[in-house]
Amino acid sequence: MNKISNYILVGIVIILCMMYIITKIKVINKQFIKFLITGVLNVLIYYILYIYLKTYLWYLTAHFISLIIGSIIAFFLNSYYIFQVKPKMKNFLKFPISLFPNLFFTTIGSYYIVSLNILNENIASLIMIILAAPCTFIINKLIFLKKFS
């Protein structure tokens, strides 16, 4: 396959994944909108850290460290702004549950996209972080509110 075919294939997969995820959320509510707003902030934090660390580290190591730091910041944003609950140690200890699927999905996806020369590591990591957002929201909602409201 040539590079253009790879771009088209990735685009189709991204669109299908987003369509599937949106149908599973069913209702885009106020919490999800807040999650998207803080998600943009979190992606900016992640991406700035990632680009900086990538100058010193392998791109997947930079991705991992940036995701961990971004996730800690996200915990407090989720607590105070999105779900309006007091941060608790119990929730902080459960919060990595949302990190593991995100870390797995974004790392494997980034590696696949880069290794096939579809996109460079800067764009691949950014795309994978964005695609992981709806799944992360659902897991976070379960952690902070213990059930869907």
Residue 61 pLDDT: 93
Lookup: tokens for 54: 């990538």
Q: Is position 109 within any domain?
A: yes
User: The domain containing residue 38 runs over which residues?
Assistant: 29-145
The C-alpha atoms of residue 64 and residue 80 are separated, in whole angstroms, by: 25
Handedness of CA 7, 8, 12, 15 (dihedral sign): positive
Q: How many CB atoms lie within 10 A of CB 22?
A: 11
Q: Is position 16 within any domain?
A: no
Q: How many domains does the chain have?
A: 1
The C-alpha atoms of residue 124 and residue 121 are separated, in whole angstroms, by: 5
Q: In the chain, how long is the greatest CA-to-CA distance?
A: 51
**What own/partner pairs with CB < 8 Å and gap ≥ 24 does 5-12 have?**
6/116, 6/117, 6/118, 7/118, 7/119, 9/118, 10/113, 10/118, 10/119
For residue 134, give the 3-state DSSP assignment: helix
Residue 22 pLDDT: 57
Q: Is position 11 within any domain?
A: no
Q: Is position 21 within any domain?
A: no
Contact by Cβ (8 Å): 145, 94: no
Residue 147 pLDDT: 54
Residue 149 pLDDT: 43
Residue 28 pLDDT: 58
Residue 10 pLDDT: 57
Q: Render each residue's pLDDT in the chain as its tens digit; 149 residues.
A: 455 555 555 555 655 565 566 555 554 577 777 877 787 788 788 888 988 999 999 988 998 899 889 888 888 888 888 778 888 888 788 777 777 777 788 888 888 888 888 888 878 877 887 788 777 777 777 777 765 44
